[in-house]
Amino acid sequence: MRDLFFLALLPLMLYTMARRPFIAVGMWLWTAMFYPNAWLYGMANGFRYNLIFTGLAMLGYLVMRDKPKVSFGAIGGLVLMFFLWTTASTIMTEGLPEVTWEFWSRFLKVFLLFVFVILIVSKKLHVDFVLWCVALSIGFYGCLEALKFVASGGGHKIEGFQGHVLGDRNELALAFVMTLPICAYLLGEYGKQSKVLRLALLGAMGLLVAAVVGTQSRGGFVALLGLAAYYFVKSDRKVLLSILGVALVMAMSYVVSDEWTSRMDTIGEANADASFMGRVVAWKLSFIMATRHPFFGGGFKTLEYFPMWQSLSADFFSYAFFYTGDTLPETHRARAAHSVYFQVLGDHGFVGLFIYLCMLVRVFLTTRALSIKARLQAETAWIATLGTMLQLCLFAFCLGGAALSFAYFDLLFAICALVQVLHSRILPATLAAAAAAAAAVVPKPVPAPAPA
């Protein structure tokens, strides 16, 4: 039934996207996060929706009459530098070329998403639509799985679709956490207009918290706690947030299992946790990879190439300052880097990591500048709020990503693009329009009467 419904809507969706390229960009991100093929069967499952919507976004931009002035700014420059650096590291890969190039092609799509968000998004409506697409993809899946988790009394373990970018439950949990500030922004903007929307978004935020708990991801839980603490510091409604926080904790205490509790207890005993120390071993091997190839690293996924893993393990005891306890590299299989920072370090070397960190810092500082500058005018207050929420998204990613191989996440680069668009295009245009409107209503001075 859902196949027929989706196929019936598809022509209308395609027509709308062809007429409005910003809708195609939003749906491009929606298909990347929602993975519609996992929900459809039969004939509807055979279409490559992400490719179709991507093509429409590109074609729509090419035929746009009034293209926005292109401004990639410092953020765009750093993202471009990083992409070019990953291309160079892929050309000189130390891993399996077919695997490395396949992963590079995935990152190319992420880079193109970044580019076309900057090229097409030019006003508040466009920004809000992209954010709604995030809420209706990651947020929808999180709410659905959270309902199963609560209905099962905490027995349902939340996981992503196999083969999807969010297939791993740890990465899925971090995506849920990053979606929370986006829902908070949408609540502030649209909750006043509709009681139904206000209740729906409030419920969605509560369910997303439950979804993070339901993944049993320690990294996701740490990111959630960090986000809550940072949001509490930033917020002017600390009493209300405290009450809501206590209510959520009490509600979750009825559904979490003993397994979940014992798993979270290991967060404070990381040195004694074999799983965590196994990640530290992978971090050390990524570091060794970077010392061997300091400029370009080994290329995408090279650490997971077992012959390279074995080769790096031969130098494992050469860096005694990098403490791993009694844990040694596995001898029968390779592992992922399990950290966005060590992932980039091993994949693209010290220079690649430096560019990546500069990109993150620049985006963070730009969101801060947005929040400060946009707060001065009533017309730009929404930009100030959104700047803070996107800063929270970035903070959650940087914190939760410290233990995940998630450096090239689509949503991260979409957020980077939105921040650049807000800073270089939407905020200046809104301030200029407000200044023009204010000048238009200033009464002209009345000339003094001529002397008699």
All residues at 6 or more sequence positions from 364 whose CB lies less than 8 Å from its CB, including other chains = 391, 394, 395
pLDDT, position 445:
66
Q: Which of 45-49, 387-391, 406-410 has the lowest mean pLDDT?
A: 45-49
CA triplet 13, 27, 190: central angle to 5 degrees?
A: 95
Interval 313-324 mean pLDDT: 88
Is it the case that residue 42 has pLDDT exceeding 90? no
Single-letter amino acid code for the residue at 270 = A
Token duo for residue 47: 């279409």
User: What is this structure's pTM?
Assistant: 0.93
d(CA 63, CA 9): 24
Per-residue pLDDT, averaged over 133-148, amounts to 96
Percent of the residues in the chain that have a pLDDT greater than 90, as a whole number:
67
Comparing 46-50, 56-60, 176-180, 407-411, the range with the smallest average pLDDT is 46-50
Enumerate the domain spans of the chain. Answer: 1-65, 75-120+273-429, 124-271
pLDDT of 345: 97
pLDDT at 233 over 90: no
With beta carbons less than 8 A apart as the criterion, state whether 297 and 345 touch: yes
CB atoms within 10 A of CB 326: 6
Q: How far apart are the first and last CA of the chain?
A: 88
CA distance 115 to 134: 18
Q: Using pLDDT thresholds of 50, 70 and 90, give the confidence band for residue 265.
A: confident
Could you tell me how far CA 252 lies from the centroid of its own chain? 25
Tokens of 50: 């992400």
Tell me the pLDDT of the chain averaged across its residues: 91
Which range in 306-320, 342-356, 419-433 is most confidently predicted, on average pLDDT? 342-356
Query: Where does the pLDDT of residue 223 fall: very low under 50, low under 70, confident under 90, or very high at 90 and above?
Result: very high
Q: Is 353 exposed, middle or buried (0-12, 13-18, 19+ CB in 10 A)?
A: buried
What's the mean pLDDT in 257-279?
75
pLDDT exceeding 70 applies to what percent of the chain? 96
Q: State how far the Cα of 31 lies from the Cα of 11, in Å rounded to an integer.
A: 16
